Amino acid sequence: MKFFAFYFLANLLLVSSPTLALDAAGFCEATETATSANQGGGNYNCKKTPDSLIFTIYEVGVCTAAATPISNSSCIPVFSNTAGKATNLSAGASIALDPEVTLTEGTYTHGYILVDVEQKMKLTHTFSSARTPSTGGESGGNVPGGTSGLVCYSNGKNIGVASDAISCGSDASAAAISATKAWVIGARSDNYSYMSVSYAVPGSAAAATKVWVLNSDKTQAGADYTVDGGGNWSGWSGSTTNRKYNYAVQTLASPMVISPTTTSINISFNVTGSTSFDFWAPNQTGCNGCLQDISFEGVKFNFSAQ
């Protein structure tokens, strides 16, 4: 058995496929309206590539077998920062591996990443004619509208909370980073803290990925929430939560072989089209077809080695 000490960078690579042009189906166009953005099922949205997409990364590692947050003895961390490292993925980034990281020569079948539940992003879009954003949610069947403008952007308010995270004006000088939190995932049967999905980032094969929501002590989040009359999540018990991290483990579509010639471990994140502008319905009272909110599809990543 051979061991190798590596002194290299774990590159966080942007995934930007040339097939995902700005005018591709589903992407926001200058002429976009709620009607053209109708996706069916009462959903009105168009995709955007964010100007910035910021994750706080705490740990990255590779494993020789499947792992969970409480059963990860097969894993070796190649990057660890207890305070977290804020990384703007849309600008391109690299993070230095821990000094003298030692990996056993062999095949690694899984990769994992520990990130903060909070994800930050900034979006801007220029329309061909003025659009109006909402300034709040529906109340009494009515949605309040804000100031109209040709350029619409994230305004720094939290996403997915009060339908007021978008503003519009004559330019994007007031654009600001808004945040959303991935602390509610999956089904109630898993306490909204676990899901298993399969996805592909452009240029890579689909990979099975399991995601957990962890408390600050890195245990899986439990029943710390309240539900509405339909049995769905509606808030937090005591109006707060201790949910701090997202822990994701990916089964590598192509197992990663570490050998004496390995020079880097790459993690590709999908950024292109990962966010969207959401619209109210064209017949919404008070603010018909207005811009409603911003959505984020969640972190999608892929491991590889060179």
Question: Looking at residue 146, what is its pLDDT?
Answer: 97
Number of domains in the chain: 1
Structure token digits, residue 195: 């899901």
What does the pLDDT profile of the chain (306 residues) look like in tens digits?
A: 344 433 333 333 333 333 344 445 689 999 999 999 999 999 999 999 899 999 999 998 889 999 999 999 999 888 889 999 998 887 555 566 555 566 778 899 999 999 999 999 999 999 999 999 999 999 999 999 999 999 999 999 999 999 999 999 999 999 999 999 999 999 999 999 999 988 766 667 778 899 999 999 999 999 999 999 999 999 999 888 999 999 999 998 888 888 777 766 777 777 888 899 999 999 999 999 999 999 998 877 777 766
Global pTM reads 0.86
Q: Which residues are within 8 A (CB) of 96 and not within 5 positions of it... i.e. 6 or more apart? A: 9, 10, 79
Dihedral over Cα of 190, 221, 116, 68: its sign: negative
What number of CA atoms fall less than 13 Å from residue 11's CA on the CB side? 12
Phi, psi of 171 (to 5 degrees): -155, 180
Q: Which domain holds residue 277?
A: 3-305
**Nearest-10 Cα torsion for 68, 249, 55, 170:** -130
Amino acid residing at 265: I
d(CA 96, CA 132): 44
**Nearest-10 Cα torsion for 283, 284, 287, 293:** -120
SS3 290: coil
CB 256 within 8 A of CB 303: yes
- DSSP assignment of 142-160 equals B--B---EEEEEEBSSPTT
What per-residue string of b and e applies to 35-51 under the rule 16 or more CB within 10 Å gives b? eebeeeeeebbbbbbbb
Question: Looking at residue 147, what is its pLDDT?
Answer: 97
SS3 188: helix
Helix (H) or strand (E) segment spanning residue 29:
none
d(CA 158, CA 162): 8
Phi-psi group of 275: left, alpha or beta (phi > 0 → left; psi -120 to 50 → alpha; rest → beta): beta
Question: Looking at residue 303, what is its pLDDT?
Answer: 76
Question: Looking at residue 21, what is its pLDDT?
Answer: 44
Pairing of strands 9-15, 265-270: parallel
d(CA 7, CA 25): 43
Question: DSSP letter at 52?
Answer: E
Question: Looking at residue 202, what is its pLDDT?
Answer: 65
Question: Looking at residue 244, what is its pLDDT?
Answer: 97
